[in-house]
Structure 1
């Protein structure tokens, strides 16, 4: 008899992990964070809920990891903001890319659900900020510090506060749907943040 090779446990686990990620993202987009359960994720992924609990401690952990993994698959893992020597151009470029990501159907529903639920769920909110938001904000901090060293930004400016001048309005408009988010809008935010609104 020809002995069959043993099943590849690693590949099978990876397949299950991907299925769980996809199920979690789809569910939260369809029914929201609160109505998404470990049981529902397991059923949709075709795995036992004990499989999920073996790898994650909560649905928040599942969803956050799934969202991070989705970004990496799409080539949107946070990376340094290019320093071309033109701060305004660099900020416009990264904010335009952010608009494109926020409007991408793959990202919009799960990211909106996470952000909204994080407002009322303190623990989830902290994890959302720590794992997803803060690493991206630190990219702005480093680029603004580089601009300070080059003399393009005043030395007394706190980069962590300054970045909120263009990041926070974009996030608020996106979350509240008060108006469309566009490249033109973020270009204007950069102009206002860097030059102010007083008469030049």
Structure 2
């Protein structure tokens, strides 16, 4: 007796989707890595621990990444992209509306929101602290995570120079530190609260200076 014509289609629907399975495993690994580093710190986080928490084999992790640092970097970048999308923003972009002050205020406000996000705060603090004592890790995260963001500030300030909104003799690489360094120091060292009002003030002081107007 011939099989019904619908049988092949039904069979195809039961075939495992390798792409979907891989994405599910990748997401589980991201969550496990960020969760572990937040709970026990970078030094005590291991590939074996990540695999166990994610419910995958250790070989699955090594198929996609060469080390726990690579796993954490990718997980951290993915988390940042998710936070930007949820805020309705394009990740790793500083807008250029023609008003450099407004653009810098917007991106720093978004940074504050991300730094205060519990999903982001614990793992980022753990990795930042480890980067201070672990030179190799520090260099990797500066090169792959921090440096691309800093280049966006440089590009935006150069555009402002071309528009006559920033002095032509200003070094954008030094100028960006007026915005990002105080915020980073206050956040890392708990020297004061971080807020939209605080970063708006940073932009005002940096662009307008301290001398009487």
With the shorter chain as reference, the TM-score category is: over 0.9
2:61 equivalent in structure 1: 52
Aligned pair partner of 2:121 in 105, 108, 111:
108
Deviates more, 1:77-86 or 1:99-108: 77-86
CA distance in 1, matches of 2:210, 2:204: 9
User: What are the superposed Cα offsets for residues 38-81 of structure 1, whole Å, 9 maximum, x if unpaired?
Assistant: 11111100111121112111111001101111222331653432
Alignment of 1:129-140 (within 5 A): 129-140=142-153
Measure, in 2, the Cα distance between the counterparts of 1:127 and 1:79.
18
Q: Which runs of 5+ in 2 are unaligned?
A: none
Query: Is the CA contact (8 Å cut-off) linking 1:71 and 1:77 kept in structure 2?
Result: no
The correspondence of residues 21-170 of structure 1 with structure 2, limited to 5 A, is 21-74=30-83, 75=85, 78-170=91-183
Alignment partners' CA distance in 2, 1:55 and 1:49: 11
TM-score, length basis structure 2: 0.88
Superposition TM-score, scaled by structure 1 size? 0.93
Q: What count of residue pairs does the alignment treat as equivalent?
A: 200
Distance 1:50 1:83 in 2: 44
Q: CA deviation at 1:15?
A: 1.1
Distance in 2, matches of 1:148 and 1:177, equals: 34
Bigger mean CA offset, 71-80 vs 145-154: 71-80
Which structure 1 residue ranges, 5 or more long, are not aligned?
A: none
What is the Cα-based RMSD across aligned positions, in Å? 1.6
SS of residue paired to 2:188: helix
Distance 2:209 2:41 in 1: 39
